[in-house]
Amino acid sequence: MKDGLVVLDEVSYSYNPDRPVLRRCCFQLDADERVGLLGTNGSGKTTVLKMIVGLLKPDSGRVRIFGKLCRTERDFREVRRRVGFLFQDSDDQLFCPTVAEDVAFGPLNMGKSREEARQIVSRTLSLLGLPRFEDRITYKLSGGEKRLVALAAVLAMQPEVLLLDEPTAGLDDAAAQRVVDVLEELPQAMVIATHDPRLLDSPVNRLLRLSGGRLVAESDGDGAIGHLQLQTKP
């Protein structure tokens, strides 16, 4: 089997032994793919995303990222530099006092110099249409601005893959549309956990539904089903 960017191979996970969230679940993300992840609340969408960056370790099964088997925290450190994760609640993500510091946080952790970090900050903010946001105080931003700044913070690390957990949840129409527009323009392969039909419409080119602890192909109504790979093993 050709290795995708991200491969989950029969992973199982449970927060509570009586109710497993994932049961021998399989998933593969290839380059240029934008996968929409559907599923009811509590079906395990966030769990899948967290597993990809090693925030949760599978009870069984294998996680391969960029063709490398990842088991330990050390393996995942490298992964987290190359896979960006946008959290559902931007308040969890934006913890620095100012926008500039928050966006620079990742690049500085990656060993960039202050000067480089500053350039990355202004480049990323203007890419997302947030000019002159550098000195804004993160906790005073509106919900939509927070989401975009959090996205900027993730993009500042120049990830190759994006994991987005409900990127439009809790935003008003205009703000949500702005996030959708931004995502459409991004070149990265992504996995988007969402309920928002706007996102399923255009950024996403493959739909999966998480049900009973497994991922199954979901028809998105315009023929994309032919593009689907089988995601569950019997």
> 69-83 as b/e, with b when 16 or more CB fall inside 10 Å?
ebeeeeebeebbbeb
Our CB check for other proteins shows the closer of 120 and 175 to be 120
| Among residues 55, 69, 225, 230, the one that binds other proteins under rule CB under 8 A | 55
Cβ–Cβ < 8 Å for 110, 157: yes
| Among residues 31, 69, 137, 225, the one that binds other proteins under rule CB under 8 A | 137
Would you give the binding string for other proteins spanning residues 93-112, x where CB under 8 A is met?
A: x-xxxx-xx--xxx-xxx--
- Beta-carbon contacts of 48 under 8 Å, excluding residues fewer than 6 positions away, are 8, 22, 25, 27, 37, 191, 193, 210, 215
CB of 160 to other proteins, least distance (A): 14
Query: Per rule CB under 8 A, is residue 87 in the interface with other proteins?
Result: yes
Query: Per rule CB under 8 A, is residue 13 in the interface with other proteins?
Result: no
Give the separation between CA 94 and CA 149, rounded to whole angstroms. Answer: 8
How does strand 34-38 pair with strand 189-193? parallel
**H/E segment holding residue 105:** helix 99-109
Query: Per rule CB under 8 A, is residue 162 in the interface with other proteins?
Result: no
| Among residues 28, 47, 124, 138, the one that binds other proteins under rule CB under 8 A | 138
Q: Which stretch binds other proteins (CB under 8 A): 1-9, 75-83, 166-174, 221-229?
A: 75-83
CB of 85 to other proteins, least distance (A): 4
Phi-psi region of 38 (alpha: psi -120 to 50; beta: other; left: phi over 0): beta
Where does residue 234 rank: exposed (0-12), middle (13-18), buried (19+ CB within 10 A)?
exposed
| Among residues 139, 221, 225, 230, the one that binds other proteins under rule CB under 8 A | 139
Query: Per rule CB under 8 A, is residue 81 in the interface with other proteins?
Result: yes
Give the distance, in angstroms, between the CA of residue 156 and the centroid of all CA atoms in the same chain.
14
| Among residues 23, 34, 45, 80, the one that binds other proteins under rule CB under 8 A | 80
| Among residues 6, 38, 157, 192, the one that binds other proteins under rule CB under 8 A | 157
Cβ–Cβ < 8 Å for 151, 90: no
The binding site for other proteins (CB under 8 A) comprises 50, 53, 55, 77, 80-81, 84-85, 87, 89, 91-93, 95-98, 100-101, 104-106, 108-110, 114, 117-118, 135-140, 153-154, 157
